[in-house]
Amino acid sequence: MEVSPTTRKLTDSPRTEVCNATPNPLSRGAILSEPVPVKKPSLLALLLALIPFVAMCFSVALWDRIDPMILGVPFNLAWLVCWIMLSSLCMWAAYRAEAARDKKERGAR
Amino acid sequence: MSPSAVPLMTIFAIIGLGVVIGFLAGVRRKMNLEQWTVGARGFGMLLMFLLMAGEIYTTFSFLGASGWAYSRGGPTLYILAYLSLGAGVSFFILPNIWELGRKYKLQTQSDFFRLRYGNNYLAAFVCVVGVIFLIPYLQLQITGLGIIVNVASFDGIGRTPAMAISVALLAAFVLASGIRAVAWISVLKDVLMLVAAVSIGIGIPYVHYGGIGPMFTALAQARPAHLTMPGATTNLGHSWYITTVLLSALGGYMWPHAFGAAFTAKSGDTLRRNAVVMPLYTITLAFILFAGFTAVMVVPGLPDGDLALLTIVRQSFPAWFLGVIGGAGALTAIVPASILILTAATLFAKNLCRPIFAPTMTDDQVAKLARLSVVVLSAISLYLAVHSSTTLVSLLLLGYAGVTQFFPGVVLGLYWKRVTMPGVFAGMIAGVATVAYLILTHQDPFLGWSAGFVALCINFLITIVLSLITRAYLPPLDATPELN
């Protein structure tokens, strides 16, 4: 990753900076209040992670019933157990999507 | 020999084994603050999984989840949903937090807030709120331990002495070994928990009804309303479910200890992979719910739902097996409780005392103060656990409602560069105040919504609006060179 001027300023020594600072509620701690460098997730990964939320959370009214029982377990409980496994699968797909993007970015640079 | 001797001896043998593992894990490492709190940032995939599983699946999942299946019914399903969804949220937050942690040597959640918003008072506030809401969670574990020893001794040992012994053990153990010991004990805990969950989830319905299917059929006939929401309650319906699942999933990694656990990882990738496998661990909880549902008709009328699991185990299995279940349950309390104490003590010493009262303290002095705080915090939680009678789930929901108020500050801090310190500070204060007001005046759920979620919405709104207003008074951020 390129080192921007901000990053360098921050790396200098955030701890000494803070330890010696006079506590002042109005002090904005100028350098530290600047945005920290982070990597944004890809849209695909976000959409994949949203699937379990729709299935296990928002759609509760559609599956919260006893019948039909699946393997002797009420439908709502069986539905959630099934989606626990599927949500792991969704996160795996999101992981692959992120990994593929990282690789592509490294290749492009 | 009295009937209580066998289960009690088994429980103490299991705890003893755990303590030995813990001491061995810490033994040949020099314990400075970095090693004690973040394990020198060297945890790979396996240790990381164990640490995370160790701190997320607590005695709450063991006694609390089954207790709610017993006393509330359908609403307990929220636990299955939020644990998996929380892992999904961590996928997008923890790797970035880890990256910042490595770059700027962060050890705690409060360090992150200080780095991002550059204000000691905000950092101290985060620290105080974190420690305050860790206490109900810690209290929950200690109450759980008390219940286990109490039931396993056939009421021979009272809850209070049981809790006192456990707390003393806990404190001694945390002082000696730090975070690495905790992760290693998780190995024993996870194996036992898995064995315990599957054997009681299948065994208990089998003993009383001949199988899981017949048990649910019988329950659906006798109490059809119990198995769906709102179950045995009047106010925990679908809107409560959605808001509580969202609250808990978003807040799951806002706990200071779960957030701090991210810093122990070897790489950001470790944390991502961890988020992929984490949901699978939740399946064991389904088995524990089976046992709780069986208890509805087999041991009706218990004064406290949290007793349901152990009472039905005591009725269905031989005494030594009660000991094994009790031991597994005790470890699921000790492991998270150690992490909670460790986190709260470090936060208190490093992020509250040093910056505000004694800026000249060295890292070694901070480490000493942290160890002292371990003792004080253990005593406070013990006191609260002895003098309170709230159910385990209520304690947990209180904690979640509180710590989720960090979410806007963390997620906007990472992904929205216009967010400002005054916005986050005001939003967080409003959120915490709303939680305190609604819960203390017994208005949870509020109009069918989880009180913590209502507070989170207010928090987000204030943070965003104030950030847009206060932006004008800050140096223009657009002047900052685009990063990455």
Q: What is the pLDDT of residues B247-303, one digit of tens each?
A: 989 988 898 888 888 888 888 888 888 889 888 888 888 999 999 999 998 888 888
Flag whether pLDDT at A12 surpasses 50. Answer: no
The answer to whether A97 and A86 are in contact (CB under 8 A) is no
For A:2-41, CB contacts with B below 8 A are: 2, 4-7, 10-11, 14-15, 18-21, 23, 25, 27-41
Rounded to the nearest integer, the mean pLDDT of chain B is 83
Rounded to the nearest integer, the mean pLDDT of chain A is 72
Flag whether pLDDT at B481 surpasses 70. Answer: no
**Residue written as tokens 């152990």?**
B310
What average pLDDT does the segment B144-158 reach? 82
* A2, A4, A41 member nearest B92 (Cβ): A41
**pLDDT for res B241:** 92
What average pLDDT does the segment A55-68 reach? 88
For A:38-57, CB contacts with B below 8 A are: 38-41, 45-46, 49, 52-53, 56-57
More confident residue, A7 or A89: A89
The answer to whether B178 and B342 are in contact (CB under 8 A) is yes
**pLDDT for res B479:** 39
What average pLDDT does the segment B295-317 reach? 87
CB burial readout A36-64, b (16+ within 10 A) else e: bbbbebeeebeebbebbbebbbeebeebb
Helix (H) or strand (E) holding B114: helix B109-117
Please tell me if residue B480 touches chain A, with a CB cutoff of 8 Å. Answer: yes
**Which residues does chain B have within 8 Å of residue A40's beta carbon, measured at their own beta carbons?**
415
pLDDT in tens, B84-115: 899 899 999 998 888 888 888 888 888 888 88
For B:194-233, CB contacts with A below 8 A are: 211-217, 220, 224, 227-229
Q: What is the ipTM of this complex?
A: 0.83
**pLDDT for res A37:** 66
**pLDDT for res B463:** 92
User: CB under 8 Å to B48, separation ≥6 — which residues?
Assistant: B261, B264, B265, B266, B270, B271, B274
**Residue written as tokens 């709502």?**
A76
More confident residue, B99 or A22: B99
pLDDT in tens, B377-431: 888 888 888 887 676 777 777 888 889 999 999 998 888 888 888 899 999 999 9
* Span of B29-33, B169-173, B316-320 with lowest mean pLDDT: B29-33
pLDDT in tens, B213-228: 899 998 888 888 888 8
What are the structure tokens assigned to B203, written together? 């065994």
* Span of B129-133, B162-166, B218-222, B356-360 with lowest mean pLDDT: B356-360
Within 10 A of B371 (CB to CB), how many other CB atoms are there?
18
What average pLDDT does the segment B22-26 reach? 72
Reported confidence tier of residue B2, pLDDT bands at 50, 70, 90: low
How far is Cα B188 from Cα A60, in angstroms, rounded to an integer?
A: 36
* B77, B104, B356 member nearest A23 (Cβ): B356
Name which of B349, B340, B412, B420 is nearest B381 in CA terms.
Answer: B340
Mutate to test the interface with A, among B85, B418, B419 (most CBs of A within 10 A): B85
The answer to whether B88 and A84 are in contact (CB under 8 A) is no
**Which residues does chain B have within 8 Å of residue A10's beta carbon, measured at their own beta carbons?**
103-104, 115
**pLDDT for res A61:** 85
Closest residue in chain A to residue B213, using alpha carbons only = A72
Flag whether pLDDT at B469 surpasses 50. Answer: yes
Mutate to test the interface with A, among B97, B103, B119 (most CBs of A within 10 A): B119
Mutate to test the interface with A, among B274, B276, B293, B450 (most CBs of A within 10 A): B276
Flag whether pLDDT at B206 surpasses 50. Answer: yes
Contact A6 B483 (CB under 8 A): yes
**Which residues does chain A have within 8 Å of residue B92's beta carbon, measured at their own beta carbons?**
41, 45-46, 49
| Helices within B153-237 (DSSP H only) | 159-209, 212-222
CA distance, residue B260 to nearest chain A CA (Å):
18
Contact A32 B360 (CB under 8 A): no
CA distance, residue A107 to nearest chain B CA (Å):
15
How far is Cα B72 from Cα B208, in angstroms, rounded to an integer?
A: 21
Mutate to test the interface with B, among A60, A62, A83, A98 (most CBs of B within 10 A): A60
Flag whether pLDDT at B136 surpasses 50. Answer: yes
Dihedral over alpha carbons B384, B385, B390, B392 (to 10 degrees): 130
Pick from A6-15, B285-294, B382-391, B443-452 the range whose average pLDDT is largest: B285-294
CB burial readout B260-270, b (16+ within 10 A) else e: bbbbbbbbbbb
**pLDDT for res B35:** 64
pTM above 0.90, yes or no: no
CA distance, residue A64 to nearest chain B CA (Å):
6
* Span of B1-5, B63-67, B169-173, B346-350 with lowest mean pLDDT: B1-5
**pLDDT for res B83:** 87
User: CB under 8 Å to B119, separation ≥6 — which residues?
Assistant: A25, A27, A28, A29, A33, B113, B421, B425
**Which residues does chain B have within 8 Å of residue A74's beta carbon, measured at their own beta carbons?**
216, 220, 227-228
Reported confidence tier of residue A30, pLDDT bands at 50, 70, 90: very low
**pLDDT for res B480:** 42
